[in-house]
Chain A
Amino acid sequence: MSTSFVLKNLSIGDGPVTDIEVTGDLITAIGENLSAAEQIDCAGLVALPGLVDLHTHLREPGFEQSETVLTGTQAAALGGFTAVHAMANTSPVADTAGVVEQVAALGREAGYVDVFPIGAVTVGLEGKQLAELGAMANSKAKVRVFSDDGKCVHDPVLMRRALEYVKAFGGVVAQHAQEPRLTEGAQMHEGAVSAELGLAGWPAVAEESIIARDVLLAEHVGSRVHICHLSTAGSVEIVRWAKARGIQVTAEVTPHHLLLTDELVRSYDAVYKVNPPLRTATDVHALRAALIDGTIDIIATDHAPHPIEAKDCEWNAAAFGMLGLETAASIAQLVLVDSGLSNWSRLAQVLSENPARIGQDPNQGEAIAVGQVANLTLIDPTAKRTIVAESASKSINSPYVGLELPGRVMHTIYRGYFTVRDGNLAKAGRP
C-alpha cells in the first residue's frame, strides 16, 4: 500500500480553496477537509499541472561544462517543471536513435523530470540530408518532436519532405525560423538601436519570411508545424493569419522575448545576446497580446546555458543564449496574471497543457483530476524574489540577475515525488 499525503488549502488554478490527496504517483482525491498522516499546508498557493518545457538545452552529451542532464533537470524542477524537451544540438548531435536513447536514459537516471529528447531534422544539423526520423520515433525514446534548433531548416525542399515524413508517426517539426543569408554575421535586432550601436542587424523579415513559407508548406502537405521562439510582431500576424486559414501551426514565445528589449544591448553586456535577438517594445507588446488571445500557444524557455568565458568577452565573440528554467513561471505570472489581462488557467495552458499536447507527452499537461498522475507545481503568487546568479544550473548567464520577479515555486511534485519542497531541491531525484 502506497503512502498518501494531502496538500491542504490550495487553489487549483483560478478555482476555490481545496485539498489534493496524492497516493503513490496518482492524485487520489480532491475536495475540502481531506486528511492523511502527512499533511502539507499549502494555504495561499496556486496548484498547476506540472510545467512542461518544449525547448530546453541540456547540453549533454558534449557540452557538460555548461550543463548536464542532471543539473539542467534540477534547474527545471526548481522552476516548477515536471517535463522538459531536450534540444538536439548536442555533440554528438541527437540525430540517431542511440543518442536520443542515451539522453532519455540520463533523464530517467536523474529522476527530476521527464526528459523527452528532440531529434534533429537533418544529419548533424547541417540542413543537407534528413536524419533517421523514423528510427528516433521508434526508439525507446519515442521522439515526436524534431528540430534543428539553433539552425534553420532553410532548404524549402528538405523542409517540405520533413513535414511530410513525420506524418508517418505523428511527429511535428519545430522550426527555428531564421533565413541564413539575411542574418550573416547578425548580432542584434536590426532597428534604431543597432544603427546607433554599430552592430550588424538581424532583420525581423529574416524570421517572418521563413514562418510565412513554412505555414504555406504545412498547408500544402497537410502537416503540422511548430514555430520556435517567435520574436516579432510580424511573426504574430503571419501565425494569426495561418490559424484563421485552418493551417495546423502552433507557436511558442520565450520568457525573455516577453520581457526584455533591444535597448538592453546598449550596455554591450553579452548576457543579452540571444537568438532570436531581443526585439523592440512594440514586438514585446504584440507577443504578450498574442499569448493572451491564443495566437501563441505556449511559453518555452529556450534555456541555453553557456560557460562564463563564452559571455565574459566582447559582444561579437560571445555565444547566443540565456538561462530561463528557474524564472519562466515568474515571467508568465507577471505577463498573464499580475497584469490583470489573463489568469492562471491560461498560464497552465501555455506552460503545461499545450506544450504537452504538442509534444504528445504521456501523463503530462493533464488537468488536475482524480486518477491522473501527480505531476504538480505549487506556486506562492505573493512572494517576490530578487534573481541572483547562483542557481541549480551549471551556468550563470541569466539576464534577470538583480531584477525582482513575482512568484516562487514552493513545491514541485513529479509523479508523486517532491523534487522541490518548500522551495528546496530534493537531494536525489525520484528513485
Chain B
Amino acid sequence: MMMNRNLLSAADLSRDQAVEILDIAEGMADVNDREIKKLPTLRGKTVVNLFFEDSTRTRISFELAAKRLSADVINFSAKGSSVSKGESLKDTAQTLEAMGADAVVIRHGASGAANVLAHSGWINGAIVNAGDGTHEHPTQALLDAFTMRKRLHGKASAGRSLDGVKVAIVGDILHSRVARSNLLLLNTLGAEVHFVAPPTLLPANASNMKATLHYSLDEVLENETPEVVMMLRVQAERMNASYFPSEREYARIWGFNADRLAKLKPGAMVMHPGPMNRGLEIDAISADSPQSTVLGQVANGVSVRMAVLFSVLSGERANHVN
C-alpha cells in the first residue's frame, strides 16, 4: 500500500494505512526483542530530530527508532530559536534541506508548525509531526492504538482495528495534542471516544469532534464501562489560570485513583502518555498497577516510530506526491 510522504495529522491515515502501520510496528517489536536490535532498512538515510520544544522522551524514542533502522540521526535542538531571536523556522528548515535531510521529525510549540514546514516548499524531506502546539501528536496516537490492540488481542493483533472499543480520555482536552490525535485515529479505527474533563478544559465548541463529552469521571466509569481510560497530563501553566480551583479538587474529581481502578471491568487498562504528575491526574497505585500500560506505551513508542519512519522513507522517495 502507498503510504503518505508525511505524517502531519492522525487524520492523514486511512483505516487501512493505520492498520498497516500498526502491523509493521508488530514486526518492529519483534526486532526490539532480539539480541541484535537492528535492521539495515534505512541505511544511508538521514533523519533529523528538529526539536523547538524540550521533550527528552519523544526525542530519544525517535532517535532510537531511527538508529534501529540504521539511519543516520542528527538531533537539532532549536529551543529558543524564533523570529524574535533571529532564527526562523524557515531558516532552520532551509539549513536542514541544504544538508540533505531525508526526514525531519519536528516538535514545535506552535500549532500547525509541521503543516507549514511540509507545505512551504522550504524542504523536500519527509515531515513527521512529533507534536505541534496544542494541535496534534500523531505518533502518540499510533503508539496508544498499538498498545490498546496489544492488550486486547495479544498475539492475534495483526490486521485488527479497534472496532467497538470504548475509550475515555480524561483531563485537559482543550490544550491536548494527544487527545486530538487520539480522537482522530480512534475514530478511524472504529473505537468510541468519550472526553471527560472540567468544562473549562473542554473546547467551547466541540461540534466537529466525534466524541461524547462528560464532566463526571465516575459516571463514565459506571455507565460506559470503558475498556480504556487514558489520563492526560495536567500542565503546570493551567494551574494558575483559573481552569480549576486547586490541584486537590482536580485530583478528587478528575484524577484516577485506587477507588476508580476498582471500578474498571476485567481486562480494562489505564493509559498515560507521560510524564505523569503522580498524585494529581493519577495516583501511584493506579500508575503502578497491572492495569497500567505506562511502560508498555514507552516501549511500543519505539516500535511504532520505527514503523512510521520506515513508511515515510522506504520506497517512494522519488515519488514527490502529497
- Give the residue of A196, A312, A317 whose beta carbon is less than 8 angstroms from that of B82: A317
Interface residue A193 (Cβ < 8 Å from any Cβ of B): yes
Binary B-proximity of A329-367 (CB < 8 A = 1, otherwise 0): 000000000000000000000000000000000000000
Flag B101-142 by CB within 8 Å of A: 1 or 0 each. Answer: 000000011111101100110000000000011111000000
CB contacts (< 8 Å) of A197 on chain B: these are 111-112, 135
| Inter-subunit contact B135/A313 (CB<8 Å) | no
User: At the interface, yes or no: B75 with Cβ under 8 Å from chain A?
Assistant: no
Q: Does B109 lie within 8 Å of A316, measured CB to CB?
A: yes
Q: Please, which residues of chain B bring their CB within 8 A of the CB of A313?
A: 83, 88-90, 116
Q: B113, B120, B177, B205: which has the most chain A beta carbons within 10 Å?
A: B205
User: Which residues between 277 and 321 of chain A lie within 8 Å of chain B, taking CB atoms?
Assistant: 309, 312-317
Asked if A171 is an interface residue, CB under 8 A from chain B, the answer is: no
**Interface readout for B196-240 with A: 1 if CB under 8 Å, 0 if not?**
000000011111110000000000000000000000000000000
State which of A203, A268, A314, A316 has its C-beta within 8 Å of the C-beta of B204: A203
Chain A residues within 8 Å of B208, by CB: 192-193, 195-196
Q: Which residues of A contact B5 (CB under 8 A)?
A: none
In the complex, the answer to whether B204 meets A190 with C-beta atoms within 8 Å is: yes
Cα separation A191 to B203 with both chains bound (whole Å): 8
- Any chain B CB within 8 A of the CB of A199? yes
Q: Does B180 contact A (CB under 8 A)?
A: yes
Size category of the A interface is 20 to 34
Chain B's nearest CB lies how many Å from the CB of A328? 28
| Inter-chain contact A314/B180, CB cutoff 8 Å | no
- Interchain CB contact (< 8 A) of B136 among A195, A198, A267: A198
Tell me the bound Cα distance from A200 to B135 in angstroms: 10
Across the two chains, which residue of chain A brings its CB closest to B181? Answer: A198
Partner of A199, one of B88, B111, B206: B111
Whether A196 pairs with B209 at a CB distance below 8 angstroms is yes
Q: Which residues of B contact A187 (CB under 8 A)?
A: 111
The answer to whether residues A195 and B204 also contact, given A312-B90, A313-B90, A314-B108 and a CB cut-off of 8 A, is: yes
- Chain A 50-86, CB-CB to B under 8 Å as 1, else 0, gives 0000000000000000000000000000000000000
Cross-chain contact B205 with A190 (CB below 8 angstroms): yes
Of A195, A198, A312, the residue contacting B205 (CB under 8 A) is A195
Say if the beta carbon of A107 comes within 8 Å of chain B.
Answer: no
| Minimum C-beta distance from B197 to chain A (A) | 13
A68 to chain B, nearest CB (A): 23
20 pairs across A/B with beta carbons < 8 Å? A191-B204, A192-B206, A195-B208, A196-B209, A197-B112, A198-B132, A198-B134, A198-B135, A198-B136, A198-B175, A199-B111, A199-B112, A199-B135, A200-B134, A268-B112, A312-B90, A314-B112, A315-B113, A316-B111, A317-B110
> Which residues of A are at the interface with B, using a C-beta cutoff of 8 A?
187, 190-201, 203, 267-268, 309, 312-317
A313-B116, A314-B113, A314-B116 are known; give 20 further A-B pairs, CB within 8 A. Answer: A187-B111, A190-B205, A192-B205, A192-B207, A195-B203, A195-B204, A195-B206, A195-B209, A196-B209, A200-B134, A203-B204, A267-B115, A268-B112, A314-B108, A314-B110, A315-B110, A317-B83, A317-B88, A317-B89, A317-B110
